[in-house]
Amino acid sequence: MAAPGVCGWSTRQVAAWLRAEGFCDYVELLCERHRLDGAGLLALTEYDLRSPPLELQVLGDIKRLSASLRGLRRRNGHALEDLGLAREEGGEPGPTRNGSGGSPGGERRNPYSNGKGKQRDRRLDPECWKTVVSSVYVTLVCGVTSFVMVIVHDRVPDMQTYPPLPDIFLDSVPRIPWAFAMAEGCGLVLLIIWLLVLLLHKHRSILMRRLCSLTGTVFLLRCVTMFVTSLSVPGQHLQCSAKMYGDVWAKLRRALAIWSGFGMTLTGVHTCGDYMFSGHTVVLTMLNFFVTEYTPRTWNFLHTLSWVLNLFGIFFILAAHEHYSIDVFIAFYITTRIFLYYHTLANTRAYQQSRRARIWFPMFSFFECNVNGPVPNEYSWPFSRPAFMKDLIG
């Protein structure tokens, strides 16, 4: 039935082809209701059959009709070119290099891809200069955070006037003095795991850029919350009182000490007033999510270890009575939501069709504009590999 002039077929001729191929049940739907002619028939894809307004429900019919359409397209390659559709492997039509309606450069996307499989035909530009920009961004945010922590220490409420707020967990669980050091130890182990993943990941530049942009954004939000509202200290063991650091230069020196010590008690940094919400919880949760996102699903032991370190770290923060329960809950919630929202936009490329996303998330659009879809979990040795490493990593 594949006539040379298939592009000029009328809906009646398309109906005759459908009947001849054994698809009488779909003549009314395709030809009478949707007025499908020869050109439309050649452009019809399996995705069209599954999606509105057709939404065929019988899988066998979808597959058989798709196979018949591929055969028709193979026998009418010149007609595809006349319609501006390039022939591709498998017979599915795709946009030409100069055609419209497709991805940049004529790249064809699988509408059913869940983003977990390797996309071998897609090259990801590392754009190292953007990674440098994101690193500068997170460094500046950490500096601003350190300075805000000095300011809120000046405003910490007096413990005699404002005693610790009621908290179900803190009131029920006795304080463990060494627990906060254990929480920071969990964070260090997670950091080491993440650095190893980052070192061996083929797309390490993109991963580093995402970590810096997300961490910087969450900590910038944290600066606002702890600056606008000063909470009383969560425990009597914290000997905190308003401490004036003198002029601006004295505050900057104190902020530099906090920044250089990464805000950790293990490095001798002790601060008060930086509540709502917990920065330690942010770091633990962010590292956990990056480790589990950018390692294969089959690495169950590593994923379990990452979650154990995250949850135990949170427990130790509360057991040390260094933060209110609401601090930890909000930190975990905000970090996970921002991580998931960012990656949903990046993986689906939804922001490309959304003007609102580009307006409200300009930094995201800037960092992700050239990353087409999910980042595959591919690994490579970053240095010139010895012979045994070639066999080990591949």
User: What CATH number is given to the structural domain containing 91?
Assistant: 1.10.150.50
Residues 308 and 380 in one domain: yes
Q: Is residue 105 part of a domain?
A: no
Greater model confidence, 154 or 23: 23
Residues 138 and 90 in one domain: no
What does the pLDDT read at residue 240? Answer: 72
What does the pLDDT read at residue 121? Answer: 43
Q: Is residue 113 part of a domain?
A: no
Q: Is residue 52 part of a domain?
A: yes
Lowest-confidence segment of 86-100, 160-174, 193-207 by average pLDDT: 86-100
Strand partners of residue 204: none
Cα torsion angle, 152, 219, 318, 194, sign: negative
Last residue of a domain, one of 95, 117, 143: 95
| 3-state SS, one letter per residue, for 371-387 | CCCCCCCCECCCCCCCH
The number of distinct structural domains making up the chain is: 2
Residues 240 and 333 in one domain: yes
Lowest-confidence segment of 81-85, 356-360, 373-377 by average pLDDT: 81-85
Catalytic residue among 167, 323, 343, 391: 323
Residues 161 and 78 in one domain: no
Counting beta carbons within 10 angstroms of the beta carbon of residue 235, is it exposed (0 to 12), middle (13 to 18) or buried (19 or more)?
middle
Residues 78 and 164 in one domain: no
Runs of H (alpha helix) within the chain: 11-21, 27, 38-43, 46-50, 59-74, 77-82, 128-154, 168-172, 179-200, 204-228, 248-260, 279-293, 300-319, 325-348, 355-360, 362-368, 387-393
Report which DSSP code applies to 93: E
Active site annotation includes 280: yes
Residues 212 and 254 in one domain: yes
Do 316 and 183 contact (CB within 8 A), yes or no? yes
Active site annotation includes 327: yes
pTM: 0.65
Calculate the alpha carbon distances from 31 to 9, 28, 36, 214, 256 in Å.
11, 6, 5, 51, 73
Active site annotation includes 303: no
DSSP string, 138-183: HHHHHHHHHHHHHHHHHTPPPTTTSPPPP-HHHHHS---TTHHHHH
Residues 146 and 53 in one domain: no
Residues 73 and 143 in one domain: no
Domain containing residue 154: 128-393
Report which DSSP code applies to 91: S
Alpha-carbon 34 to chain mean position: 39
Residues 218 and 339 in one domain: yes
Q: Which two tokens stand for residue 292?
A: 């589990």
Asked if residue 115 has pLDDT above 50, the reply is no
Residues 72 and 174 in one domain: no
Catalytic residue among 153, 167, 203, 327: 327
Residues 243 and 344 in one domain: yes
Catalytic residue among 153, 201, 203, 280: 280
pLDDT band of residue 233 (cuts 50, 70, 90) is confident
Residues 288 and 183 in one domain: yes
Greater model confidence, 214 or 371: 214
